[in-house]
Amino acid sequence: MNRAALIILLLCACFAACIKAPGTSLVAYKQQAAVDDKIITDYLAANPGLNAKKIDTSGVYYIVKQQGTINALYTNSTLVTVGDTGRVLSVSGDPVFTQTNEFHPSFVLGSVILGWQLGIPQVKKGGIVRLLIPSRYAYGPNAQPQIGVSFGLTNGLPANAVLDFDIQLYDVSN
């Protein structure tokens, strides 16, 4: 009898832990998607020379600045070495929150934000791409207090931040 009571108590605790955080409902998601899409389309309308292309129905836009010269096969396990500058498009002044200078980090493509997973394969090795990424393809409603502090973002990257990246693809390996 005690085992049955213990199992029921554990199941109740598990179900209680499944309560969603505020703002994570489908309605809130769709509302934020509309806000993000408006931020990006307004930005593109104000900058008509960018010649941005939308990736499928994702809301992620890309601009190829330099195509690169070597074809690459991209999978979730592809290792990419990049140089990047990231700005927050949804914050006044588009502040920089990340920038690599001489150091070029390597990432497994499947471990980076979805906007990068969709956008990086749009160029070949050696190419440069600019990505405009809605928050749902970045960090979503999760603020990132540790990102951007060294660049002057006092509270880090805010929740629902629309991001703007310039990414140079130095190397691709599988």
In a domain, 96, yes or no: yes
Q: How far apart are CA 110 and CA 133, in angstroms?
A: 16
Residue 7, domain member (yes or no): no
pLDDT given at position 23: 53
3-state SS class at 12:
helix
Taking the C-alpha atoms of residue 42 and residue 150, their distance in angstroms, rounded to an integer, is 29
Q: Is residue 14 included in any domain, yes or no?
A: no
The pTM score is 0.84
Encoded tokens for 35: 């806000």
pLDDT at 140: 96
Domain that holds residue 69: 21-173
Q: Would 2 be classed as within a structural domain?
A: no
| Domains: count for the chain | 1
- The answer to the question of residue 169 being in a domain is yes
pLDDT of residue 73: 87
Summarised one tens digit per residue, pLDDT across range 39-58 is 999 999 999 999 999 999 99
d(CA 137, CA 170): 23
Q: 6 lies in a domain?
A: no
Q: Which residues of the chain have pLDDT under 70?
A: 1-24
Provide the pLDDT for residue 145.
94
Residue 114 belongs to a domain with what CATH number? 3.10.50.40
Q: Quick one: pLDDT at residue 102? A: 86
The answer as to whether 13 is a domain residue is no
Task: Identify each DSSP E strand in 75-117 by its residue range.
Answer: 79-88, 96-99, 106-108
Residue 148 lies in a domain: yes
pLDDT at 6: 46
Q: Given this model, what pLDDT does residue 2 score?
A: 59
